[in-house]
Structure 1
Amino acid sequence: MAPQAADQTAKKPVPDKSELKYNLNESGTHFFKVTLLNQSWFRFNQSNPGSTVVQDLANNTFDIGLRRTRIQAFGQISDRIFLYFQYGMNNFNYQNGFPSFNTNGTPSNRKVAAFFHDAVGEYLVFRNKDYLKIGSGLTVVNGLSRFSQPSVSTIMSMDLPVFAQATVDQTDEFSRKLSLYARGQVGPIDYRVVITDPFPIQTNGATPPALGTNANFALKGHHKQYQGFFMYQFLDKESHQTPGYMTGTYLGKKSIVNLEAGFITQQNAMWRREGNTGASTDTTYQNMNLWSVATFLDMPLNRRTGTAINAYLGYFHTDYGTNYLRFNGVMNPATGQATGTAPGGLGGTQGNAFPMFGTGSVVYSQLGYLMKQDLFGPATGTLMPYVQAQIANYQRISSTLGIYNVGVNYLIKGHNGKLSLDYQNRPYYQAAVDAANRLVPTGRAGQLTLQYQVFI
Structure 2
Amino acid sequence: MNTSMKPVWVSALLLSSQLAFAQQPTTLPADTTKKPATSIIVSERVNQAPAQKSAAEKNELKYNLNESGSHFFKATFLNQTWLQFNQSNPGSTVVGVPKDNTLSIGLRRTRMQLFGQISDHVFLYIQFGMNNFNYLNGGFNQTGSSNRKIQAFFHDAVSEYIVWKNKDYLKIGGGLTIVNGLSRFSSPSVSSIMSMDVPVFAQATVDQTDEFSRKLSLYARGQVGHLDYRVVMSDPFPIQTNGAALPTYGPNSIFALKGHNKQFQGLFMWQFFDKETNQVPGYITGTYLGARRIVNLEAGFITQKNAMVHLAAPGDTVYQNMNLWSVASYVDMPLNKAKGTAINAYLGYFHTDYGNNYLRFNGALNPASDIAAAQRPGGLGNTQGNTFPMFGTGSVVYGQFGYLMKRNLFGPGNGTLMPYVQAQVANYQRVTNTLGVYNVGLNYLIKGHNGKFTLDYQNRPYYEPSPSTSPLSAGGRRGQLTLQYQVFI
Question: Aligned to 1:184, what secondary structure does the other structure show?
Answer: strand
Deviation at 1:377, TM superposition (A): 1.1
Relative to structure 1, is the Cα distance of residues 203 and 257 closer, same or farther in structure 2, using a 3 angstrom cutoff?
same
Question: Aligned to 1:274, what secondary structure does the other structure show?
Answer: strand
Instruction: Tell me what 1:431 maps to.
Output: 465
Instruction: Tell me what 1:131 maps to.
Output: 169
Cα separation, 2, equivalents of 1:109 and 1:60: 24
**Does residue 306 of the first structure (1) align with residue 375 of the second (2)?**
no
Q: 479, 484, 489: which is aligned to 1:446? A: 479
Instruction: Tell me what 2:396 maps to.
Output: 362
Deviation at 1:108, TM superposition (A): 3.5
Q: Which amino acid aligns with 1:294?
A: A
- 8 Å contact 1:433–1:440 — kept in the other structure? no
Instruction: Tell me what 1:394 maps to.
Output: 428
Instruction: Tell me what 1:18 maps to.
Output: 59
Relative to structure 1, is the Cα distance of residues 106 and 54 closer, same or farther in structure 2, using a 3 angstrom cutoff?
closer
- 8 Å contact 2:183–2:300 — kept in the other structure? yes
Cα separation, 2, equivalents of 1:203 and 1:422: 34
**Does residue 167 of the first structure (1) align with residue 191 of the second (2)?**
no
| Match runs of 1:93-132 below 5 Å | 93-96=134-137, 99=140, 102-103=141-142, 108-132=146-170
Cα separation, 2, equivalents of 1:98 and 1:172: 18
Deviation at 1:17, TM superposition (A): 2.8
Normalising by structure 2, we get a TM-score of 0.88
Relative to structure 1, is the Cα distance of residues 167 and 97 closer, same or farther in structure 2, using a 3 angstrom cutoff?
closer
Instruction: Tell me what 1:62 maps to.
Output: 103
**Does residue 235 of the first structure (1) align with residue 269 of the second (2)?**
no
- 8 Å contact 1:225–1:265 — kept in the other structure? yes
Deviation at 1:209, TM superposition (A): 1.2
- 8 Å contact 1:145–1:260 — kept in the other structure? yes
Instruction: Tell me what 1:39 maps to.
Output: 80
Instruction: Tell me what 2:298 maps to.
Output: 260
Cα separation, 2, equivalents of 1:447 and 1:270: 33
Relative to structure 1, is the Cα distance of residues 440 and 12 closer, same or farther in structure 2, using a 3 angstrom cutoff?
closer
Cα separation, 2, equivalents of 1:128 and 1:371: 36
Instruction: Tell me what 2:94 maps to.
Output: 53
| Match runs of 1:284-323 below 5 Å | 284-323=318-357
Please give the per-residue CA displacement for 1:120-176, whole angstroms capped at 9, x wherever unaligned.
Answer: 000001111100000000000000000000000000000010000000000000000
- 8 Å contact 1:337–1:349 — kept in the other structure? yes
Deviation at 1:183, TM superposition (A): 0.1
Normalising by structure 1, we get a TM-score of 0.94
Relative to structure 1, is the Cα distance of residues 326 and 40 closer, same or farther in structure 2, using a 3 angstrom cutoff?
same
Please give the per-residue CA displacement for 1:313-332, whole angstroms capped at 9, x wherever unaligned.
Answer: 00000000010000011111
Cα separation, 2, equivalents of 1:173 and 1:392: 25
Instruction: Tell me what 1:7 maps to.
Output: none
Cα separation, 1, equivalents of 2:408 and 2:144: 54
- 8 Å contact 1:37–1:453 — kept in the other structure? yes
**Does residue 141 of the first structure (1) align with residue 165 of the second (2)?**
no
Q: Which amino acid aligns with 2:404?
A: L
- 8 Å contact 2:379–2:467 — kept in the other structure? no
Instruction: Tell me what 2:44 maps to.
Output: none
Question: Aligned to 1:74, what secondary structure does the other structure show?
Answer: strand
Question: Aligned to 1:163, what secondary structure does the other structure show?
Answer: helix
Question: Aligned to 1:157, what secondary structure does the other structure show?
Answer: coil
Cα separation, 2, equivalents of 1:441 and 1:98: 25
Cα separation, 2, equivalents of 1:137 and 1:12: 30
Q: Which amino acid aligns with 1:397?
A: V
Question: Aligned to 2:373, what secondary structure does the other structure show?
Answer: coil
Cα separation, 2, equivalents of 1:362 and 1:25: 48
Instruction: Tell me what 1:5 maps to.
Output: none
Instruction: Tell me what 1:183 maps to.
Output: 221
Instruction: Tell me what 1:6 maps to.
Output: none
**Does residue 418 of the first structure (1) align with residue 452 of the second (2)?**
yes
Cα separation, 2, equivalents of 1:222 and 1:406: 41
Cα separation, 2, equivalents of 1:339 and 1:88: 34
Segments ≥4 residues shifted beyond 2 Å: 11-17, 105-108
Question: Aligned to 2:190, what secondary structure does the other structure show?
Answer: coil
- 8 Å contact 1:150–1:246 — kept in the other structure? yes
Q: More deviation in 14-23 or 359-368? A: 14-23
Cα separation, 2, equivalents of 1:32 and 1:97: 32
**Does residue 349 of the first structure (1) align with residue 387 of the second (2)?**
no
Deviation at 1:106, TM superposition (A): 9.7
Cα separation, 1, equivalents of 2:399 and 2:36: 46
Deviation at 1:260, TM superposition (A): 0.4
- 8 Å contact 1:97–1:109 — kept in the other structure? no
Relative to structure 1, is the Cα distance of residues 382 and 179 closer, same or farther in structure 2, using a 3 angstrom cutoff?
same
Question: Aligned to 1:136, what secondary structure does the other structure show?
Answer: strand
Relative to structure 1, is the Cα distance of residues 383 and 106 closer, same or farther in structure 2, using a 3 angstrom cutoff?
closer
Deviation at 1:14, TM superposition (A): 3.5
Instruction: Tell me what 1:195 maps to.
Output: 233
Q: More deviation in 108-117 or 133-142? A: 108-117
**Does residue 74 of the first structure (1) align with residue 111 of the second (2)?**
no
Deviation at 1:226, TM superposition (A): 0.1
Q: How many residues align?
A: 438
Please give the per-residue CA displacement for 1:369-426, whole angstroms capped at 9, x wherever unaligned.
Answer: 0000110111110000000000000000000000000000000000000000000000
Cα separation, 1, equivalents of 2:357 and 2:134: 32
- 8 Å contact 1:141–1:244 — kept in the other structure? yes
Deviation at 1:208, TM superposition (A): 1.5
- 8 Å contact 2:138–2:365 — kept in the other structure? no
Deviation at 1:433, TM superposition (A): 7.0
- 8 Å contact 1:80–1:124 — kept in the other structure? yes
User: CA-atom RMSD, angstroms?
Assistant: 1.4
Cα separation, 2, equivalents of 1:110 and 1:14: 41
- 8 Å contact 2:376–2:466 — kept in the other structure? no
Identity %: 73
Please give the per-residue CA displacement for 1:198-248, whole angstroms capped at 9, x wherever unaligned.
Answer: 000010011111100100000000000000000000000000000011000
